[in-house]
Amino acid sequence: MRWFGPQDPVSLQDIRQAGCTGVVTALHHIPVGDVWPVDEIRKRKKTIEAAGLTWTVIESLPVHENIKKHTGNCEELIENYKLSLRNVAAEGLKVVTYNFMPILDWLRTDTEYELDDGSKALYFERSAFVAFDLFLLKRPNAEKEYSKEEISRASSRFKMMTDAEKENLYRNALLGLPGSDEPFTADQILSALDTYKHIDAKRLKKHLFHFLQQVVPVAEGVGVKLAIHPDDPPYSVLGLPRVVSTEVDLKEIIDAAPSPANGLCFCTGSLGARPSNDLCGMMKRLGDHIHFLHLRNTKRDENGNFYEANHLEGDANMVQIVKETLLLMNRRGTAIPMRPDHGHQMLDDLKKKTYPGYSAIGRLKGLAELRGLELGISDSLQEQLN
């Protein structure tokens, strides 16, 4: 499971009791762009091992905005990233997850979407998001990116909202901002968005390729695997380009810096929110480059809305995905680290404050389901082989 460090209300003991053998985590207290010191890496690793768990996967070693924009002290920041890779490798870490999403790491409009059984999930409502963009953020020329029907639905949706609902929408839409525990003003967000006004998808992809061509040889040299996380959601938001959303994107990323160290964090939730993505087919075709798996499920509708479904439900065929994973690991002769992702808030956790999507019991439920599914499929495959 993912662990957010010593301040995480879900403890290492909780995670071990859930049946996990390890955690994925990061040094969230180190400012983005600074070098991760060996002493801090070692300290975190010792804390985890003292709890009877392992740490081999980093999630995430963030990429500074100046690297994404290829501006300012970009090259200095890339050198810092290289040194961080050397430092984590020296402490025995094997996989480094990162993303290349401009400004916002992820986006949802509701972090407490109540399901029929009373549990709560993360939800992206298209009309609410458009309403946020047009009427709360008031991004210049935003209306050009939406159809008349979308604007009409967003306007109706906005008129129905109470002041408290508008405040919640504003806060939820900006949770993916680094440091977003602190309130951001609309002017601050618009100013950040303005720094990308001359950067389209083609240019952002060029910046990503430059970054990879610099850091991948270092990662390969020290025995670390890089795993890029897909965009979430996997399409443009707030006028920002997205370049890790489709199979074509993933193939171009792999080809930009050919190396066993250059690979993917295959997130079935993020990629699955885009109907055209063939998850099982992508795993077959790109499987040699998958270094880390996020197994989660989403349920979409025809209006562009989606919510985090139970791990074995939703639109992704988790049975086939787990089967493909087992076949892939057998063919490669290696295990692929996996974690359940975005569990529902449920039972006693409904009374607790945790990071959205990362309460303990919902992820425990997802992990139990996935482990049972894996065991059943594994036994079935063994019988077929025998």
Residues assigned a catalytic role: 229, 267, 294, 341-342, 358
What is the C-alpha to C-alpha distance for residues 312 and 373, in angstroms, rounded to an integer? 9
What is the C-alpha to C-alpha distance for residues 302 and 97, in angstroms, rounded to an integer? 32
Query: What is the secondary structure of 138-177 as a DSSP string?
Result: --TTGGGGS-HHHHHHHHHHHHH--HHHHHHHHHHHTTTS
Our measurement of the distance from residue 308's CA atom to the centroid of its chain's CA atoms, rounded to an integer in Å, reads: 13
Amino acid at 299: K
Sequence-ordered list of residues with C-beta below 8 angstroms from that of 227, at least 6 positions apart, any chain: 95, 96, 97, 98, 263, 264, 265, 290, 291, 292
In 257-317, alpha helices (H): 268-272, 279-286
Strands 120-124 and 306-309: antiparallel
Angle CA 39–60–316, to nearest 5? 150
- Of the candidates 271, 301, 264, the residue with the CA atom closest to the CA atom of residue 124: 301
Contact 267, 99 (CB under 8 A): no
- State phi, psi for 283 to the nearest 5 degrees: -65, -40
- Of the candidates 314, 123, 137, the residue with the CA atom closest to the CA atom of residue 233: 123
- In the beta sheet, which residues pair with residue 345? 120
What is the C-alpha to C-alpha distance for residues 1 and 82, in angstroms, rounded to an integer? 26
- Of the candidates 315, 311, 245, 321, the residue with the CA atom closest to the CA atom of residue 287: 321
Contact 347, 361 (CB under 8 A): yes
- Of the candidates 367, 297, 350, 339, the residue with the CA atom closest to the CA atom of residue 2: 339
Residue 300's H or E segment, with its range, is: strand 297-300
Check whether the bond before 6 is cis (ω within 30° of 0): no
